[in-house]
Structure 1
């Protein structure tokens, strides 16, 4: 049978809307259900437009191959964002040599080494936020609080200064940009909304403040690896990092972390509190971790329950449910023909919910990741940070940040779900994560 003779199934949907409502309600579940019914290749309709979907472990592995790199690109999905901010390119929207050049400039700033010897600062910033927001007897809106905490951490550690007054502006700008210009799930007219226009102006103001402040920083100032590397590239290789691209790049940690890291840590809090046996193990490890005071990266190797709970959170509550690409050429995948110019969804997290990879996949099981089980190591099984050349550049930094922060929260605080039997509700835009109404109550201080 030739590639052209295989008929790719079209997922049943509503007139005009197609599959938009099902996808919006629960994107992870939607792609899993479609994979189970149709296999690794199918087509969906979104608001009158048809898109091919490559899903499952097969698709995750394909992204890492030379054929995958040659057949797919990401430029179209981020072109609108680049144009909106007057830049020439941005890391997620570039492929090939251009993408590698930008990754090389930013690699050190987004690596675990950027904060590995500053874990006590991560703890101090976390404590500062706990003391300000997580007060005994008070209900705490978890996602909003995590967004403020993450912005505080990334601002101080990667750019040299914390700027909490810009948190809401970053959140609004990110929401509009992703919904309108990247996923295109909302009409472009929304970019005229005064709330977005103000937020965009404020984010550009933040960018300029960060650059100006770092330019004036005296010798001996606290390190800020990412912004220092970006500004060095701007000075020494302006063709690679022109002024316009520097402006958008310096706020990258905020945009990258505000919704993603904050979503994951919020889901972690819910999942741990929902499982008393896990809560007991997490508390015990957290207490041991901080018993001696100062911590090092080596100490993080001794918290398998916390690490397992974090990995299981990323499996069950993935942020990067799919990756969006455009076909650069005609190619065949699993016997199905994909035409040059087609827009595709790549369902890399589908295996997260398949029994053949993770037995009893709906169960929160933090021991899946230790040997001999190591279920995540099967080919194509586990993709919390995406796949291929666009795998999240900051994944190792985020791992360290989330491990330290969540351990500190459970070491210091006695947290309870509010109300006690709360069942997590999810938002899906701009990225999937716990809804804004998810709250916990601080029953008391533990340490």
Structure 2
């Protein structure tokens, strides 16, 4: 139906008071897919009394990369609470346009494949020490907690030159509060007065100061840490772009950006592979061949199509960034529907991950979707695990290498199994979608 030449945007049916909040919280990916199938690429939802426009599907994914998409949306409002809470002036995820580009250029090298490409043996060593400490034969390992510890260890070494495992609980707690209270706003700001959060926040500030001070004193023979080196250089040479007030949030940014997301994906990868014995056999064979080499290079990672396919299929079926949250910078029309300046929007760019027109039998774990001639993910708008538009994840290539090496090493070293053959993954929706803390696997023994 049209009104004055514009299409009337459908409202998704919901419950009194809570609106669509319960369905969204149970399974956000399925919720937006179901709404897209029923209503098309534009609809509206109500969440706890607030109305939001939604644009979704391949139409939204492609539009995000256009000039109109870039100029019609901004992200500042969703990250303003984080910036204010930490006394900063700006953060990469909360800036748009030239300001965003300036910060992105400062951090690009530190979040790139270059930051990890010649340090793969270090990633292996960090993974090994975590497996030796917490993954003992006969034990049932809480996967997500263990992966969070492992990822924090890796990020500390790679990005700041030193691992500080004693801060893992603080980083984990602060990240949870940041995402739940300040970014997604699923919990009230009153929680920021929680003494546990206040203590963890002080500890993370202490960690950032230690990272900055230690790196400033490091000599020429110190291990490389591109991100913190580039941040300190920008602070010294261009303090307008990287003032002292922004250093802490920038230095600890990788933990907020990577801790929950990478740990969730690796945990889901582990479940999906163990759930499919045929995939497990292929992953193990590739991992064993990979680590038969005396040292590991980036070129070697090109020869593991099963592991890479399993990672891509995990990113498709268990997306971390189900939707992107934005504010309309101006009035605009999307597929005939009017969006008003100042409206808050959900952008459902992962909806195509579950559409049969892109992925036949879309809920089946099929690791061969990505090799030619199928290459199903290459259809326009089909694959968006790292977001779309100018805020596409800066660290996606680094994260992919990190995850490929980590998962290959785990399946090479350990004989693992699910707690029962019929186990179905328990999942959480906050602060980001992923496996629940209750998910465990059995360590049946060491393979290598």
Fold match by TM threshold 0.5: yes
Map of 2:303 onto structure 1:
302
Contact residue 3 and residue 332 of structure 1 kept, 8 A? no
1:428 CA drift (Å): 0.8
Aligned residue runs from structure 1 range 53-202, under 5 A: 53-202=54-203
Q: Distance in 1 between matches of 2:4 and 2:204?
A: 48
Matched with 1:267 is: 268
Partner of 2:429: 428
CA distance in 2, matches of 1:222, 1:259: 26
Deviation at 1:2, TM superposition (A): 7.4
CA-CA distance at 1:4 after TM superposition:
5.0
CA RMSD, Structure 1 to Structure 2 (Å) = 0.9
State the SS of the aligned residue for 2:145.
helix
Question: Within 2, Cα distance between the matches of 1:59 and 1:287?
Answer: 41
Q: Following the alignment from structure 2 to structure 1, what is the Cα–Cα distance between the partners of residues 82 and 4?
A: 35
Q: Conserved in 2, the CA contact under 8 Å of 1:82 and 1:90? A: yes
Whole-angstrom CA distance in 1 between matches of 2:101 and 2:76 = 14
**1:212-223 matched pairs, under 5 angstroms:** 212-223=213-224
Q: List structure 1 segments (4+ residues) > 6 angstroms apart after TM superposition.
A: none
In the alignment, the residues of structure 2 paired with residue 341 and residue 242 of structure 1 have an alpha-carbon distance, to the nearest angstrom, of 29
CA positional deviation for 1:202: 1.1
- How do residues 239-258 of structure 1 correspond to structure 2 at under 5 angstroms? 239-258=240-259
Question: Could you say what secondary structure the match of 2:45 adopts?
Answer: strand
Deviation at 1:419, TM superposition (A): 3.4
Say if 2:333 is the partner of 1:366: no
Paired residue for 1:397?
398
How far, CA to CA, are the matches of 1:158 and 1:185 in structure 2? 30
For the 8 Å contact 1:155–1:161, the answer to whether it is kept is yes
State the alpha-carbon separation in 2 of the partners of residues 96 and 253 from structure 1: 22
CA contact (8 A) 1:2 1:335 kept: no
Number of residue pairs aligned between Structure 1 and Structure 2: 447
| 8 Å contact kept, 1:4–1:336 | no
Q: Provide Cα deviations, 1:204-249, integer angstroms capped at 9, x if missing partner.
A: 1111111011111122110110000000000000000000111110
Q: What TM-score results when the alignment is normalised by the length of structure 2?
A: 0.99
SS in 1 for 2:17: coil
Provide the rounded CA distance (Å) in 1 between the counterparts of 2:323 and 2:5.
25
Unpaired runs of 5+ residues, structure 2, are none
CA-CA distance at 1:371 after TM superposition: 0.3
Q: Distance in 2 between matches of 1:186 and 1:167?
A: 22
Which residue of 2 is the match for residue 333 of structure 1?
A: 334
Cα distance between partner residues in 2 of 1:201 and 1:174 = 13
Per the normalisation by structure 1, the TM-score is: 0.99
Superposition deviation, residue 255 in structure 1: 1.3
Kept in 1, the 8 Å contact 2:275–2:421? The answer is: no
Return the alpha-carbon distance in structure 2 between the equivalents of residues 330 and 292 of structure 1: 57
For 1:382, what is the secondary structure of its paired residue? coil
Q: Deviations over 1:175-221 (max 9, x none)?
A: 11111111111111111111111111111111111101111112211
